[in-house]
Structure 1
Amino acid sequence: MREVSQPATEAIRLVDVLRALADPVRLDLVLRLDRMGEAFCNAIGAEIDVHQTTLSHHYRVLREAGVTWTKAQGRSRLVRLRREDLDALFPGLLDSVLNAHRRTRENAPAGTTKAP
């Protein structure tokens, strides 16, 4: 199986991270990864109601922006947040974005999905 491409720490750019975190589905994925630490793509994706190809796209955007680290294990992919890298490059950014997303989800109108 071919190696998964992802940026080196020094190549992570703020604009790419912000663009990756601007999508609600990706924010939900990041919230789940933050809670779980590390997980297989299919384990997290099973909780989110999107088509598999769309989910793969979201994982790729997060990986290429430097938000997540992906490791191939056989036919599966193990994913984790690059929290240490992001905190070193952009102190407080990830916590601020995730806390704001949690508050938004908690205050969502009745009938909408709550945060994980």
Structure 2
Amino acid sequence: MKPLYHPDRDDIQLSSVLYALSDPVRLHLVAELRKAGERTCGGMDVPVVRSTLSHHSRTLREAGVVRVRVQGTQRFLSIRTDDLEYRFPGLLDSILQAYAKSGEAAAFQDKTVT
């Protein structure tokens, strides 16, 4: 199996991170990872089908927001907190705090599978 692409710390671009976090599903995934730590794709509580979840996790990975670790048939996601903090100090915390205060997190849970 070919290794998954993860940008080097110095290659993470602000525009890519902001784009990745601009989607409500991806923002919710990152917020869930922040609360629970590393999780498997199957262990994520999001109301989307598996193929859509795969697309969103790839977008986050290629932007440098998450790291995906493959172990057997499982894919484990974790936030690249240290790398993001090094590149853009305070950005992720600010975005996740604003997300939590906005009420979007609670509203997101009520959505149906798309």
TM-score by length of structure 2 reads 0.89
Alignment of 1:1-116 (within 5 A): 1-44=1-44, 47-105=45-103, 112-113=107-108
Structure 2 counterpart SS, 1:60: helix
Q: Distance in 1 between matches of 2:13 and 2:23?
A: 17
Unaligned residue ranges in structure 2 (runs of 5+):
110-114
Instruction: Give SS of 1:71's match.
Output: strand
Structure 1 unmatched ranges of 5 or more: none
Percent identity between matched residues is 45
CA distance in 1, matches of 2:12, 2:105: 32
Give the superposition deviation at 1:75: 0.8
Change in Cα spacing, 1:8 to 1:99, as seen in structure 2 (3 Å) is same
Helix, strand or coil at the partner of 2:97 = helix
* Cα distance, 1:106–1:15 mapped onto 2, change above 3 Å: closer
**Contact 2:28 / 2:105 at 8 angstroms: preserved in 1?**
no
RMSD: 1.6
| 1:57-109 superposed Cα distances (whole Å, 9 cap, x missing partner) | 0000000000000111011111100000000110000000000000112797x
How many residues are aligned here? 109
Matches of 1:90 and 1:9, distance apart in 2: 11
What is the TM-score of this pair, normalised by structure 1? 0.88
- Structure 2: how far apart are the matches of 1:57 and 1:83? 21
SS where residue 34 of structure 1 aligns? helix
- Shift in CA distance, 107/53, structure 1 to aligned 2, threshold 3 Å: closer
User: Counterparts of 2:31 and 2:23 in 1: how far apart (Å)?
Assistant: 12
